[in-house]
Amino acid sequence: MSYDLSQLGWDQTCTSAFRRFDRADSIPGRVLRADRGVSTVLTADGVTRAALGGGVLLDAARDPVGLPCAGDWVVLRRWPDRRITLELVLPRRTVLIRRTADKDASGQVLAANMDTVAVVEPIHPEPDEARVERLLALAFESGAEPLLVLTKADTSLDPGAIARQLAAVAPGVPVLPISVRLGTGVDELRRYVAPGRTCALLGRSGAGKSTLANALAGATVMPVQAIRDADGKGRHTTAYRNLVPVPGGGAVLDTPGIRGVGLLDTGSGLDRAFADVTGLAARCRFDDCRHEAEPGCAVQTALADGTLAPRRLASWRKLRREIEIESGRRSVRLARARQAR
């Protein structure tokens, strides 16, 4: 069996990154799934399992962010005794990363090298604007193009109205209502998994991510929640992140539902997710405007004339504060670690 890795986005940049490590016994591949100590990797020769090599383990001991994850381009090594090891993770073009409770880690990598991050939010039960905002900030921060997918469009009489309502919390982001049940919107999503392109799915448990992945793959690759419970809450069905190649196209990267997601942000992802607010803030008279009662505050003007929703401003402030507190903690930790050394 032979597989053309360019279908999955292997390009000139990958080729030159790989060349630096190229040896007779090295082969490139893309991680479909990463488990503890072993990765499932798609190479030109098909799917193989590879144990983590010493170098990768050493890097990961310093910072788990260096561990391979679904979507990573990697270098494998074939040993004379037919063992295969994963020797290197090639530089990530984009990376979806969230804050973890782990004090020393710089975060948890959810997906790598995707072109699009689709925030997947169900129309039923009611979409949660605050969750969409938070996930979009994470999506923007990844470096990939965000997309908002509204699933289960068949549960609403007017999905278009819900899409318009949510577009207000997703400025500049395409909003795509989809019903896999009715087959509507799936073809639009297919554009994001064209040959060479990868789309990661991110959203709460039960949102319908795996159902989408299966629809794109044209097969049941991911198990989905069998029975819909009345409150729509459901339990986690997908337990691992999985890159699923799409026949005749690129790939979709399914992830387990996330409950809370801590932002690990330099601020730029958040600012881009709140482009409406930051765009206004840039027009305030004072550079250090706090958008409270200062004269010439464009944000207050927009609140007064109804072009900016108060909820939206409150949301932005809340997430900003969270990031500030977190980065404060981080620098204290770093300083302590330096002192300890």
Residues engaged in binding Zn ion (CB under 5 A) = 284, 289, 291, 297, 299
Is residue 233 within the footprint of ligand GTP (CB under 6 A)?
Answer: no
- Region from 65-73, 205-213, 260-268, 310-318 binding ligand GTP, contact rule CB under 6 A: 205-213
Minimum CB–partner distance for residue 43 and Mg ion (Å): 26
Q: How far apart are CA 28 and CA 86, in angstroms?
A: 10
- Which of ligand GTP, Zn ion, Mg ion, none binds 118 (CB below 5-8 Å, type-dependent)? none
Is residue 210 within the footprint of ligand GTP (CB under 6 A)?
Answer: yes
Tokens 């925030």 belong to: 119
Tell which one of 224, 275, 298, 309 touches ligand GTP (CB under 6 A).
224
CA 324 to chain centroid, in Å, comes to 22
If the CB atoms of residues 146 and 257 are measured against ligand GTP, the closer one turns out to be: 257
Tell which one of 48, 59, 64, 154 touches ligand GTP (CB under 6 A).
154
- Region from 24-32, 36-44, 71-79, 202-210 binding ligand GTP, contact rule CB under 6 A: 202-210
Minimum CB–partner distance for residue 148 and ligand GTP (Å): 15
- Which of Zn ion, ligand GTP, Mg ion, none binds 284 (CB below 5-8 Å, type-dependent)? Zn ion
Please give the structure tokens belonging to residue 48: 């193989």
If the CB atoms of residues 142 and 211 are measured against ligand GTP, the closer one turns out to be: 211
Is residue 155 within the footprint of ligand GTP (CB under 6 A)?
Answer: yes
Q: How far apart are CA 28 and CA 340, in angstroms?
A: 40
- Which of Mg ion, ligand GTP, Zn ion, none binds 291 (CB below 5-8 Å, type-dependent)? Zn ion
- Which of Mg ion, ligand GTP, Zn ion, none binds 297 (CB below 5-8 Å, type-dependent)? Zn ion
- Which of ligand GTP, Zn ion, Mg ion, none binds 71 (CB below 5-8 Å, type-dependent)? none
Minimum CB–partner distance for residue 245 and ligand GTP (Å): 18
- Which of Mg ion, Zn ion, ligand GTP, none binds 273 (CB below 5-8 Å, type-dependent)? none
- Which of Mg ion, Zn ion, ligand GTP, none binds 147 (CB below 5-8 Å, type-dependent)? none
Is residue 257 within the footprint of ligand GTP (CB under 6 A)?
Answer: yes
Minimum CB–partner distance for residue 301 and Zn ion (Å): 9
Sequence-distant contacts of 92-98: CB under 8 A, at least 24 apart: 93/13, 93/143, 94/142, 94/143, 94/144, 95/142, 95/143, 96/138, 96/139, 96/142, 96/144, 96/200, 96/202, 97/65, 97/141, 97/142, 97/264, 98/138, 98/258, 98/261, 98/262, 98/263, 98/264
If the CB atoms of residues 210 and 315 are measured against Mg ion, the closer one turns out to be: 210
If the CB atoms of residues 90 and 299 are measured against Zn ion, the closer one turns out to be: 299
Which residues in this chain contact ligand GTP in the complex, by CB under 6 A?
151-152, 154-155, 179-181, 203, 205-211, 224-225, 228, 236-238, 256-257
